[in-house]
Structure 1
Amino acid sequence: MVNRAIKIPVHLLRSMGWITVLTIMQACNPQSTVPAEESADLHFAGDTLTINAHAALLSKIKCTTVIQQPHQLKFNTAAMVKIIPNSYVEIPMPFAGRVVRSYVSLGQQVAVNTALFSISSSDYFEAQRAYLDAKQTYDLTANVLKRQKDLLSHGVGIQKELEEAETNFAISNTTLKNTAAALKIYDNSTANQVVLGQPLLVRSPIRGEILSNTIVLGQYNKEDAPALLRIAELSKVWVSAYVKEKDLSVIDQIRAVEVRIDSQPSKRRQGKIVHINQFVDEANRNIEVLVECDNKDRLLKPGMYVNTQFEQAATASIFIPAKAVLQYNDKSFVWVQLAAHTFIKRYVQTGVTENEQIQIVQGLSKDEQIISEGAFYLLASN
C-alpha cells in the first residue's frame, strides 16, 4: 500500500477554523433561545420588566393571586428505640461471693423488693458479725446505764460512774448505727432479722422484666464481675430521633409525633417529645430528640430502628406553583406584577415542596400577583 500525503491550502484551513469558532459562538449565544421579535418587546430597567402590550409573549404568560392557606408541615426522620434510663437496672454482685440460690427466670415480671438471688460471702459474714457484736455491746451498756440511774436515784450511786455509763452507752449506740447502716447497704431488710451466717438476699430495686439472666448456681463471682441480671420496665420506651439542624426551628411547634415500624407499617403509635438535646452532632449536623411512646404490647424493642413523622400545628402558609420560582445562582426569585404588563424580580426564601407547590417562607405577601406560568421565557430574555 502506498501512503500519499494530501495537501490542503493554508487559506482553506484558516477558513475552516473561523467557521468552527462562529458555530460555537452561535451555540453559546443565550439570545438564540428567544426569537428576536420577542426580545424587542421586553424592556428591562434593573429588576423591573415591562412587556409591550401587543407582544405575542403575553399569551404564554399566566398570572395568579398569592393566597394563604392552612398547612401542616410534616417531615420524617430515622430513629432508634431506647430504654428509659430510670426504668433500667443492672444487678451485679455486691461483693465477692458464691451464688447459692436463684429465685427468678428469664422474661419473668418482678416487682420492687422481689427476691432475685442469694449469695454466701465472707464479707457479708463479717458485716453480720460486726452488727451482732455492736448490738450485744449496746444492750449491755444500756443495762449498765439503767442500773446506775436507779442507784443514783436511791442515794447509793456515784455520779462519776453514771457519767461513765452514759459515755459508754453513747459510744455503743453510735457503733450500732454505723454497723446497721453498713449492713443495709447490702440488704434492705430490718437489722433485727439478721442471723449470723445467713446468705445475702439480693432484691429488685424496680418493677420490670428480666431481660438478661447469667446466674450460675455455685459459681464464685468477684465484685467487679459483669452484671448477673438486667431488669427493665418496657411499658414505655424512648424513641431517639435525629432531626436535621434546619428543622429545629419548628420542633417547638410540633403538634404530634407518629412512630412507624418498617416491618409492620399498619401498626403506628403516637408519642410526645420529652427532651431536645442541646448539642449538635458535628459530623451529621443532627440533633437528638427523645420521644416517649407507650409500649404495652412490647412491639418496640430496644435497639430497633424505626421511622418518626413530626407534624407541625396548622399555620397559615403561602404556596405557589413550583414552576413560578426561578433560580439565579444560589437564590430563588419570582416575578411580581406591579402594574399591567410590568413586573419586578423578587427574591424569596422557599420552604417545603408538596404536590408541585412550593412554600414561600419569606418574600411574598397575600393578594400579590405573580407570574405562575411562562416565567422561564423572561429568564431566557434577561
Structure 2
Amino acid sequence: MKKIIFSIGLVLLYACADRSQGQRHADDRGVRVEEECVVLAADSPIRERIKTQSIHFSDYQAAFTTSGVVQAIPTGYAEIASPFAGRIVKSFVRLGQQVVPGSPVFSISSPSFFETGKAYYQAKQEMELALKSLNREKDLLRNNVGVAKEVEEAEVNYELRKKDYENALAALSVFQIEPEKMTLGQPLVITSPIAGEIVKNNIVIGQYIKEDAGPLALVADLNKVWVVAHVKEKDIPLIRRLNRADIRLMAVPDTVFSGTVYHVSELLDEETRSVEVIIECDNRDRRLKPFMYGTVQLTDTPSRALVIPTSAILQREDDCYVLVRESEDRYRKVRISVSSSDERQTVVSSGLGDGDEVVTEGAFYLIDAR
C-alpha cells in the first residue's frame, strides 16, 4: 500500500515539475495567457514584432477579376438567308453598308417561291368567289326565291376557302413576304429585318442556293455589344450587387473599356461550375470586335463598410478571428464574420466595431505563445 502511494506521489511530482517548467518558459518570453486573452510583459521580446491598426467604417467597393469574350447582342444580330431554293439574280449591299428594317439585301429567282405566290393568289381568288356566291344566295333568300339549305352550303364553302386563304397568307408571313408588294413571276427580294451594318457578305450573283443553305449575309448593330464573363461558383455571393465592370482586351491591353452589368444568369454551368455575367458596353467607336478575349474586373457599388487588412485574419477550422488590442499589453481573440475579401482588404460583417485596434502583423507569435 505504501509502495502504491509513493508511486502516485512521484507521478504528481513530475507533472507539477513539467507544468512549472512550461510556465517558466512562458514567463521567459514575457507572455501570460488568460482565457481568451494574451498579456505581454513590458520587457517581452515579442512586443517589437507586433503591429496594430485602428479600423474604421469607410467607402468600400468589392471587386474581382475574371475572363470575358465580346459578343454581338442577339437582338441586334441577324443572319440573312433565302427561304427558298433558287438562283441569286441581284445583290443590293456591300460590306460595311448601313441598312434599316426592310432594306433589300439580295433577290432570288425561285420556282418554289413562284408556286407559293401562285397558291396565295389562287386561294385569294377562290375565297372572293365563295364570298360572292354566299352573298348571292343570301339575297335570293331575302327575296323568297332562294333556299335556306343552299345558303348554308355557301357559308360552309366560304369558310373553307377563307381558311385556305389564311393558310396561304401565313406561309408568306413566315418568310416575311408582304403580299401587297409581291408580283407574280418576279424574283423574291430578301430584306433585312433589323437596322445595322453588313458585317458578312457571301452573296454571289448567279449562285444556286439550296433550301438548307446557310446565311448569305450577316447584319449586326454593333453600337452596343456584350462582354460575357464567367464567374466561378465560389464567387457568386460577390456578384449580387455588382453594377459596373472594367474590361481590358488582349488586343488593346492599355485601354480600359467601361460597361454595366446587364444580366446575371440564374443557371450554373455544370461543367465549368460558373455562372454567366453579361456586361453591356458602348461601342460606337467600333473598337470592341465580336469574339475578342480579355479580362473583366467587376466592381460593386460603393457602400460604408468596416474594412480590415486581410493579413489580420487568422483561421481555425471553419472560423475566422482576429486579435484585438484592449490595452497597452493585452490582446483578445475575437471571432468575426466576413462578407467579401481580396488580397489586400476584407469586409467584416460582424464581430468588430468602429475604432477597434487589430493586430495586422506578428499575430503568429502571440498564437504560438499560447
TM-score (norm 1): 0.76
Whether 2:211 is the aligned partner of 1:258: answer no
CA contact (8 A) 2:243 2:261 kept: no
AA at the equivalent of 2:103: T
CA contact (8 A) 1:38 1:57 kept: no
2:299 to 311, 314, 318: 311
Partner of 1:353: 343
Partner of 2:33: 44
CA distance in 2, matches of 1:141, 1:65: 92
**Alignment map for 1:108-123 (pairs within 5 Å):** 108-123=97-112
Q: 3-state DSSP class of the match of 1:136?
A: helix
Whether 2:196 is the aligned partner of 1:212: answer no
Q: 3-state DSSP class of the match of 1:264?
A: coil
CA contact (8 A) 2:172 2:179 kept: no
CA contact (8 A) 1:237 1:292 kept: yes
Question: Structure 1, residues 325-357: CA drift from partner, whole Å, max 9, x if none?
Answer: 456678654322345533233344562233xx6
CA contact (8 A) 1:138 1:176 kept: yes
Partner of 1:12: none
| C-alpha deviation, 1:289, in angstroms | 0.5
Relative to structure 1, is the Cα distance of residues 262 and 361 closer, same or farther in structure 2, using a 3 angstrom cutoff? farther
AA at the equivalent of 1:65: S
CA contact (8 A) 2:68 2:227 kept: yes
Partner of 1:88: 77
Relative to structure 1, is the Cα distance of residues 218 and 364 closer, same or farther in structure 2, using a 3 angstrom cutoff? same
Relative to structure 1, is the Cα distance of residues 198 and 374 closer, same or farther in structure 2, using a 3 angstrom cutoff? closer
Q: 3-state DSSP class of the match of 1:271?
A: strand
CA distance in 2, matches of 1:321, 1:154: 99
AA at the equivalent of 1:240: V
1:181 to 147, 170, 174: 170
CA distance in 2, matches of 1:360, 1:163: 82
Higher-Rg structure is 1
Q: 3-state DSSP class of the match of 2:172?
A: helix
AA at the equivalent of 1:72: Q
| C-alpha deviation, 1:45, in angstroms | 4.2
| C-alpha deviation, 1:111, in angstroms | 0.9
Relative to structure 1, is the Cα distance of residues 345 and 108 closer, same or farther in structure 2, using a 3 angstrom cutoff? same
| C-alpha deviation, 1:138, in angstroms | 3.4
CA contact (8 A) 1:39 1:381 kept: no
CA contact (8 A) 2:308 2:348 kept: yes
CA distance in 2, matches of 1:282, 1:291: 22
Identify the range of structure 1 (323-332 vs 203-212) with the bigger mean alpha-carbon deviation: 323-332
CA distance in 2, matches of 1:336, 1:281: 42
CA distance in 2, matches of 1:156, 1:83: 69
1:227 to 206, 215, 219: 215
Question: Structure 1, residues 173-194: CA drift from partner, whole Å, max 9, x if none?
Answer: 3333332332333353234x54
Relative to structure 1, is the Cα distance of residues 320 and 233 closer, same or farther in structure 2, using a 3 angstrom cutoff? closer
Relative to structure 1, is the Cα distance of residues 45 and 229 closer, same or farther in structure 2, using a 3 angstrom cutoff? same
Partner of 2:358: 370
AA at the equivalent of 2:69: M
Question: Structure 1, residues 293-345: CA drift from partner, whole Å, max 9, x if none?
Answer: 11112111110113322222223333445654456678654322345533233
Question: Structure 1, residues 151-189: CA drift from partner, whole Å, max 9, x if none?
Answer: 555565555555544444443333333323323333532
CA contact (8 A) 1:333 1:346 kept: yes
Partner of 2:127: 138
CA distance in 1, matches of 2:362, 2:133: 108
Partner of 1:287: 275
CA distance in 1, matches of 2:187, 2:104: 12
CA contact (8 A) 1:353 1:359 kept: no
Question: Structure 1, residues 18-76: CA drift from partner, whole Å, max 9, x if none?
Answer: xxxxxxxxxxxxxxxxx968635322245432233454554554554332322222322
Partner of 1:247: 235
| C-alpha deviation, 1:221, in angstroms | 1.9
CA distance in 2, matches of 1:228, 1:153: 59
Whether 2:62 is the aligned partner of 1:73: answer yes
CA distance in 2, matches of 1:56, 1:47: 21
Partner of 2:8: none
CA contact (8 A) 1:38 1:55 kept: no
Partner of 2:6: none
AA at the equivalent of 2:81: P
1:126 to 104, 110, 115: 115
CA contact (8 A) 2:29 2:46 kept: no
CA contact (8 A) 2:81 2:214 kept: yes
AA at the equivalent of 2:290: P
CA distance in 2, matches of 1:340, 1:184: 84
Unmatched runs of 5 consecutive residues or more in structure 2: 1-23
CA distance in 1, matches of 2:313, 2:131: 93
Unmatched runs of 5 consecutive residues or more in structure 1: 1-34
CA distance in 2, matches of 1:370, 1:96: 76
Partner of 1:30: none
AA at the equivalent of 2:240: D
AA at the equivalent of 1:125: F
**Alignment map for 1:18-57 (pairs within 5 Å):** 39-53=28-42, 55=44, 57=46
Q: 3-state DSSP class of the match of 2:268?
A: coil
CA distance in 1, matches of 2:164, 2:286: 49
Relative to structure 1, is the Cα distance of residues 293 and 57 closer, same or farther in structure 2, using a 3 angstrom cutoff? closer
Give percent identity, aligned residues only: 38
